Structures are given as C-alpha cells and as structure tokens.
C-alpha cells in the first residue's frame, strides 16, 4: 500500500475502491509505516505541544498488549511509553508475570502527551483511535491489558468503576480478544496498599495466557 493510501486508511477513509487492495492489505498496513505516519499526525491539538509522538514499544508479535493512558513528561521527552516512575513499577509487575518489556507490546490510548498531564479528552482519544485500532489489528494479541480507568473507559466505552471492571474478562469490541483491567501503576504508586491486588489480576491473566 502506498503512503497516500496508508494515510487515507488511517483517516478511516474507505480506500477499498482503489486498485488491487484487498481487505487483508488494508488491515495489515506495515507497522513501521503506521509508526512513521503517526509522527506527522496533527489530528488533534496535542500535536502542537508534544515533543515526541509515543507510538508504542515492544514486540510486534506479542501475545500481550498493554494499553495505558497517555504519555507523561518523561515519555514525551524520550518517545517511549512508561519510562518514568510508573514505568519502573510496570517493569516490576511484568517481572512478577515472568515477562520483560521485549516480550509484550506497550502503548497508550493517545500517543501524545496532554499538557500538564491532564487526562486525554474524548476528542483526543477519538482522533487517536485509528492508530490504536491498527496496532491491535496488526499485533493481534492473545490478550489486552488495560491499565487504569482512562484506558478502560475509552476502549470499553464504559463509566463503570475500577472496582467493578477489575477481576472480570471483557472482550475487545466485537472480537474474541480477551481484555483485563488492571490498576494503573501511577495509582499503585499513590496507593501502595492496593499493590497486593495486582497479584489477583496476574493470576486471572495466567488462566487466559497459559492456554496460549
Ligand atoms: N502513564 C501512562 O499511562 N502511559 C505512559 O506511557 C506513562 C505513564
């Protein structure tokens, strides 16, 4: 697929009428092209204040896709997700799952830092959803882990509380890809007594991934 077709596809413009493009090709735009395109994205105002687009990092063949909220200051500076304090805790959580970052793929609901680390708004999440959908389509993970309320709300389109979302298996849109909601590491840093509950989340995750 050409770069122009790529961009049209990212903008959710139907390009199936274009010569020789099968659905398979449309949904399997090269991951590298997708990442490259994201660097030029100006679909929302976050592009005006970002230093770097934080597209995501990890294995494109990962069985586990982890989706956080939005890049913070450290991520905006480095261009990588979860490199700050929350990222260090995420590394520890991965370690207790016997995983390392190169075995999973980590991204966020929006790829650019919201100013002052505010939550991304629904327009920003919507503008960025084409990238996330394409990442999920391309990686085709066996399980998706949503970190925190913002990720859960935006992907599941729900206003349910974390307490009711955690500990249950959800599914990504109308697919059979299971999704679990975990506490966000930044929340766990603020509420260390909740950390022990992560172990329950990990056990639930294992019931799904052990069969993969
Ligand atoms: N918090 C997030 O949700 N994502 C990051 O990349 C960093 C902190």
Q: What is the CATH number of the domain that holds 30?
A: 3.40.470.10
- How much distance in Å is there from the Cα of 21 to the middle of ligand 1? 36
- How much distance in Å is there from the Cα of 39 to the middle of ligand 1? 18
pLDDT along the chain (212 residues), means of 10: 61 59 51 95 98 98 98 98 97 96 98 97 97 97 97 96 97 97 97 95 94 70
* Amino acid 210: pLDDT: 86
SS3 113: coil
The ligand 1 atom nearest the CA atom of 54? 6
Cα 200 to Cα 204: distance, rounded to the nearest angstrom? 6
The ligand 1 atom nearest the CA atom of 80? 6
Q: Give me the number of domains the chain comprises.
A: 1
Whats the size of the chain, residue-wise? 212
Cα 187 to Cα 189: distance, rounded to the nearest angstrom? 5
CB 72 near ligand 1, within 6 Å: yes
Cα 138 to Cα 211: distance, rounded to the nearest angstrom? 21
- How much distance in Å is there from the Cα of 184 to the middle of ligand 1? 9
What order of strands is seen across the sheet that includes strand 170-171? 57-58, 105-108, 64-68, 143-147, 178-182, 170-171
Domain residues for 151? 3-209
Neighbours of 169 (CB within 10 A): 13
Burial of 3 (0-12, 13-18, 19+ CB in 10 A): exposed
SS3 144: strand
Half-sphere exposure of 119 (CA within 13 A, CB side): 10
Burial of 121 (0-12, 13-18, 19+ CB in 10 A): middle
How far is the CA of 31 from the CAs of 79, 114, 138, in angstroms?
17, 24, 7
* Amino acid 25: pLDDT: 47
How far is the CA of 69 from the CAs of 5, 16, 26, in angstroms?
29, 32, 27
Residue listed under structure tokens 């596809």: 9
- How much distance in Å is there from the Cα of 80 to the middle of ligand 1? 9
How far the first Cα of the chain sits from its last, in Å, is: 31
The ligand 1 atom nearest the CA atom of 108? 4
pTM of the model as a whole: 0.86
Residue listed under structure tokens 């505010």: 118
CB 120 near ligand 1, within 6 Å: no
């Amino acid at each position: 697929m050409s770069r122009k077709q790529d961009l049209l596809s990212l903008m959710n413009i139907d390009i199936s009428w274009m010569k020789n493009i099968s659905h398979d090709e449309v949904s399997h735009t090269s991951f590298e092209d997708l990442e490259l395109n994201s660097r030029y994205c100006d679909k929302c105002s976050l592009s005006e204040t970002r230093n770097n687009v934080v597209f995501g990092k990890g294995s494109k063949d990962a069985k586990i896709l982890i989706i956080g909220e939005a890049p913070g200051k450290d991520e905006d500076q480095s261009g990588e997700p979860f490199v700050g304090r929350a990222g260090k805790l995420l590394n520890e959580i991965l370690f207790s799952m016997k995983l390392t970052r190169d075995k999973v793929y980590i991204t966020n609901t929006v790829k650019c830092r919201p100013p002052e680390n505010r939550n991304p708004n629904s327009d920003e999440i919507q503008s960025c959803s084409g990238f996330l959908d394409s990442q999920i389509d391309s990686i085709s993970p066996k399980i998706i882990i949503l970190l925190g309320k913002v990720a859960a709300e935006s992907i599941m389109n729900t206003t349910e509380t974390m307490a009711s979302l955690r500990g249950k298996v959800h599914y990504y849109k109308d697919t059979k890809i299971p999704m679990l909601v975990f506490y966000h590491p930044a929340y766990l840093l603020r509420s260390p007594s909740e950390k022990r509950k992560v172990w329950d989340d990990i056990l639930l995750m294992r019931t799904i991934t052990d069969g993969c």
